[in-house]
Amino acid sequence: MIRLFSVLIKYFKPHMRLFVLDMVCAFIAAAVDLAFPLVSRYAMYNLLPDKAYTAFFAVMLVVGVCYAIRAVCYYVMAYWGHTFGVRVEADIREDLFSHLQTLDFEFYDRTRTGNLMSRITSDLFDITELSHHGPEDLLISVLTLCGALIMMFTIQWRLALVVLILVPIFLAIVMFRRRKLTSTSAAVKENTAVINASVESCLSGVRTSKAFANEDLDYERFTRANDRYRTAKKDFYREMGLFNSSQEFFMGIMPAVVIAAGGYCIMQGLMTYVDLITFTLFVSTFITPIRKLAQFAEIFASGTAGLKRFQEIMALEPAVPEKDDAFDLKVDGGEVCVNHVSFDYANGREVLHDVDIKVEPGEVLAVVGASGGGKTTLCQLIPRFYDVTEGSITIYGTDIRDVTKHSLRSAIGIVQQDVFIFADTVMENIRYGRPGATEEEVIEAAKRAEIYDDIMEMPDRFDTYVGERGTRLSGGQKQRISIARIFLKNPAILILDEATSALDTITEARIQKSFDELSKGRTTFVIAHRLATVRNAGRIVVIEGGRVVEEGTHAELMEHNGEYARLYQTQQLASQ
């Protein structure tokens, strides 16, 4: 637990002035609450019996000023205290997002987006509340309770002893119930992540859902997740109810016990009515710290659960590590060598076995084969989205494991079948290829990708909003925008991963011109399902079952009459 909170305290340091201000205000508020019973006792013992009315009202005026200062302190705690908490939250979220960016495909292959959204939003909010309210509530509670008990002992130790016996009993109840709240709070967070993931999945796939008329199925899935959340929340509120009822019983019984015990002391001549009134005032000051302790217990439970989930993510290491002495890749020609590479995923299933390919600078290499043969996996190894299990991949003689991932991926342009379009303008979607590009450079890239004319016919031209995931664009327009990004990026190595397989033949033929232009002077890998699109490739590699089974030009492979010829003839027959 100490190690867990040491991580949180690290985020306090840049904002320590605000934290200290919050704590000073909490101290002043607690001091005012403690001073009032003592001032009242002094006035009732000395000023009123001596008929010092002017002094009495002057003291009461000072008390009023003190409570005005107390009100200002609570304003500062509410405003600047929350500001401190938000700044801590923003710093934590920044680090969390930055760390998520370092994690590789392997992590995202097994983690749902909704789960991550929950950790970035609701979990961090709970940490914020703990950062701000936790120390503040704890300071006010400890100062008020300890200070009040000390004052009570100076007035009448017997009655103070009664109160001292009651307080540890209450604190024991708080600690016990806090543990229950912590476990149920963690369950709520887990189920919040589940329901977020369910909602994200259902909303992202709403078009598919409607196309298959499966709204009832999605509703049923959502309902199951919602029921799990409701059950977890029900357990949490039950524990909270037990905690609150215990707290209310304690706060109700304490004044009654103090008056009963105080009455007995008066009967025995051990204290006066003024002392009993003072005691009662001190007991009333217990209400605020007790409530804050209750609030702290709940915040501590939720915040600790959120902090643990934050640490779980931050403790993850990238599956594709970068060497401490990694250097920037210098690409001069773009020669790529795949040297006896084998690869298997974490489940042990081998995808590639002893693949050995050399691609010359500026050469266009087509990688073909049946689905599941390992074509896409091979091309995902080149930018190190995954690491090879055996062998090596070099670019111009440099092992890609020796260079920084940023410089490696900056040298590689990838166009995939499933193009991701951001919910932004056409201009910003193209500029994503090189964020610092000028407007003129973006327009030139659009022209080279043959999307310029389409853009000029859009309502706001380059400032046209394209919708969520580019819903306002056609499949061909999305693909050409992705091509424009690559023109803007201007990489030395190009990977076309079945980039036209989702398009119709006419659109594919039009975009093929853009690809031909894009490939000029670049080392290019073309993963293709439609073999007719790779007939003119400089060399074709056929991968079957994770192995290179054939290699050559289109003419050579057709003459060989092997796997490539069989696939090509099958597609030709299917297209007739």
What Å distances lie between residue 333 and 378, 406, 523, 524, CA to CA? Answer: 21, 19, 8, 12
Give the pLDDT band of residue 508 (cuts 50, 70, 90): low
Tally of CB atoms within 10 A around 135:
19
Inter-axis angle of helices 122-155 and 273-285, to 10 degrees? Answer: 170
Averaged pLDDT, 137-149? 85
Statement to judge: residues 73 and 219 lie in one domain: yes
Are 45 and 124 in the same domain?
yes
425 in the same domain as 401:
no
Question: Which pLDDT score, from 0 to 100, does residue 75 have?
Answer: 93
* Domain CATH code at residue 533: 3.40.50.300
Query: pLDDT confidence of 68, banded at 50, 70, 90?
Result: very high
Q: CA dihedral defined by 531, 535, 539, 540, rounded to 10 degrees?
A: 20
Q: Which one of 205-219, 300-314, 336-350, 446-460 scores highest in mean pLDDT?
A: 446-460
Element containing residue 5 per DSSP (H, E)? helix 2-10
Task: Kindly state whether residues 433 and 401 are assigned to the same domain.
Answer: no
Mean pLDDT in residue range 44-71: 88
How, if at all, do strands 364-368 and 523-527 pair?
A: parallel
Q: For tokens 């894009």, name the residue.
A: 518
Q: Which helix (H) or strand (E) holds 352?
A: strand 350-359
Pick the more confident residue, 310 or 122.
310
| pLDDT reported for residue 507 | 64
**Residues 284-314 pLDDT 10s:** 777 777 777 767 777 787 788 788 888 888 8
With respect to residue 320, please indicate whether it lies within any of the assigned structural domains. Answer: no
Domain count for the chain:
3
Tokens of 135: 């120390």
Domain enclosing residue 41, as ranges: 2-314
Q: Give the pLDDT of residue 65.
A: 94
Asked whether 23 and 136 are in contact (CB, 8 A), the reply is: yes
Looking at mean pLDDT, say which of 55-69, 130-144, 222-236, 545-559 comes out highest: 55-69
pLDDT for res 348: 66
Average pLDDT score over residue span 455-474: 84
N- to C-terminal Cα separation, the chain: 69
In a domain, 86, yes or no: yes
Domain-located, residue 309? yes
Query: Residue 184 corresponds to which tokens in the numbers above?
Result: 């149920």
- 113 and 200 Cβ atoms separated by less than 8 Å: yes
- Report the CATH number that the domain containing residue 293 is assigned in CATH: 1.20.1560.10
Q: Quickly count: other Cβ atoms within 10 Å of residue 369's Cβ.
A: 25
pLDDT of residue 20: 92
- Whether 532 is covered by a domain: the verdict is yes
pLDDT tens sequence across 468-486: 777 788 877 888 888 888 8
What is the mean predicted confidence (pLDDT) over 257-281?
Answer: 84
Between 531 and 441, the higher pLDDT residue: 441
Q: pLDDT at residue 544 above 70?
A: yes
Q: Does 305 map to a domain?
A: yes
Residue 81 CA to residue 71 CA, distance in Å, equals 14
Tens of pLDDT, residue by residue over 490-504, are 888 888 887 666 566
Tokens of 496: 């076309």
% of the chain surpassing 90 pLDDT: 5
User: Are 473 and 421 spatial neighbours (Cβ–Cβ below 8 Å)?
Assistant: yes
Tokens of 204: 């992202």
- The encoded tokens of residue 182 equal 């912590």
Asked whether the predicted pLDDT for residue 413 surpasses 90, the reply is no
**Mean local confidence (pLDDT), 141-163:** 84
Q: Are 372 and 401 in a shared domain? A: yes
Q: Is the pLDDT of residue 61 over 90?
A: yes
Residues 37 and 66 in one domain: yes
Which residue is it, tokens 């499949």?
A: 475
297 in a domain, yes or no? yes
pLDDT at 531 over 80: no
pLDDT tens, residue by residue, 349-380: 778 888 888 888 888 888 888 777 788 888 88
For residues 243 and 352, membership in a common domain is answered with no
Instruction: Tell whether the model's pLDDT for residue 505 goes beyond 90.
Output: no
Given a contact cutoff of 8 angstroms between Cβ atoms, the answer to whether 537 and 366 are in contact is: yes
Same domain, 234 and 267: yes
User: Of the candidates 314, 343, 368, which is a domain's last residue?
Assistant: 314
**Based on the domain organization, do 392 and 447 belong to the same domain?**
no
Classify burial at 310, counting beta carbons within 10 Å of its beta carbon; exposed 0-12, middle 13-18, buried 19 or more. buried
Rg (CA), the chain: 35
Same domain, 137 and 277: yes
How deeply is 438 buried, as exposed, middle or buried, from its count of CB atoms within 10 A (0-12, 13-18, 19+)?
exposed
Is 515 inside any structural domain? Answer: no
pLDDT at 506: 67
Are 398 and 462 members of one domain? no
Single out the residue in 257, 285, 314 at which a domain terminates.
314
DSSP state of 46: I
The overall average pLDDT reported for the chain is 81
Residue 267 lies in a domain: yes
Asked whether 430 and 446 are in contact (CB, 8 A), the reply is yes
Task: Note the pLDDT of residue 575.
Answer: 59
Q: Is pLDDT above 80 for 165?
A: yes
> Does 554 lie in the same domain as 476?
no
Beta strand 539-544 with 364-368 is: parallel
pLDDT at 334 over 70: no
- Cα angle 101, 106, 110 (rounded to 5 degrees) comes to 100
For the record, the structure tokens of 511 come out as 């975009």
The pLDDT, as a whole number, for residue 71 is 93
Q: Is 337 exposed, middle or buried (0-12, 13-18, 19+ CB in 10 A)?
A: middle
Q: What is the mean pLDDT of residues 45-54?
A: 82
Cβ neighbourhood burial of 352 (10 Å; 0-12, 13-18, 19+): buried
